[in-house]
Amino acid sequence: MSNPREIFVNIKRCTGCKTCEISCAVEHSKAKNLYSAISELPTPKARLSVEWHQTAGSIPVLCRQCDDAPCMHACITGAIKRDVRGAIVTDTDKCIGCWTCVMVCPFGVIGRHLQIQKAYRCDRCPDREIPACVESCPTKALVFKTVDEYSTNKRYAFVEEMSEAIKQDV
């Protein structure tokens, strides 16, 4: 927990293929394979999304595991906590679908599963050594490293990189 690995985004490498979205949804299905996952209910959901930006191109957007996670403190049921791996996770059983976490997440990365009225989010794949999105990314736009390995400034690493990608094209 002292120096957990995180998912970082190398925007310049992202081609917008959305393989990460599919592998994420499959990893969070019961069957854990694409063919069965497609027809599963509740529908397995991707916990990250690849968005399009006119100057930066495609941008994978996913939970930043904030140090002082606003979602965790805002939750009115105590459903969100930091687990032993240092990942912020939502306990589906405790979630009542009040969407307070959705309202306070400045990254907009908490999804709403409307079939079950529960919030869902990236959980850093607790059953895997390397998260499914990272492993499946064909261009290595997603990397799983400790903060020290990736950047000295954890909080701004993602933000700085992103604004750089955008500025270069403006």
Partner 1 sequence: MKHSSYLIIGGSAAGIACAQRIKETMPSCDVTVLTDEPHLPYFRPLITYIINRKKDVSDIAMIGRGPYTCGDLNIITDCKAKSLSIDQKTVSTNKGDFGYDKLLIATGSSPNIPEELKDIRCDGIFALRKLADAQRMSQMLINARHVVMLGGGLVNLKTAFAIIEMGIKVTMIVQSLEILSQLMEPDDTSLLKNAILNSGINVITGKKAIGVISNNNSVKAVVLDDSKEIPCDIVCIGKGVKPNVEFLDNSGIYIDKGVVVDRYTQTNIADVYSAGDIAVTFNPITGQRITTALWTNAVEMGRCAGLNMIGIKTLYAGTFGIMNATQIGGIPFVSMGCVHTKDTDYEVYTHKTDASYRKIVFNKYGTRLIGAILIADITNAGIYRYLIREGKDITKIKGLLINHCIHYGHLMQLNG
Q: Binders of partner 1 among 145-164, rule CB under 8 A? A: 159, 162-164
1 forms part of the interface with ligand FAD (CB under 6 A)? no
Tell the smallest beta-carbon distance from residue 74 to ligand FAD (Å). Answer: 8
Report the SS3 class of residue 122.
coil
CA–CA distance, 104 with 71 (Å, rounded to integer):
6
Q: Which residues contact 147 (CB under 8 A, 6 or more apart)?
A: 3, 6, 154, 157
Tell the smallest beta-carbon distance from residue 27 to partner 1 (Å). Answer: 22
100 forms part of the interface with partner 1 (CB under 8 A)? yes
CA–CA distance, 28 with 3 (Å, rounded to integer):
25
**Amino acid occupying residue 125:** C
Q: Which of 78, 84, 148, 152 binds partner 1 (CB under 8 A)?
A: 78
Q: Which is nearer to ligand FAD, 76 or 170 (CB)?
A: 76
137 burial (CB, 10 Å; 0-12 / 13-18 / 19+) is: buried
The footprint of partner 1 (CB under 8 A) covers 49, 51-53, 55-56, 59, 61, 72-82, 94, 96-100, 102-110, 112, 117, 159, 162-164, 166-167, 170
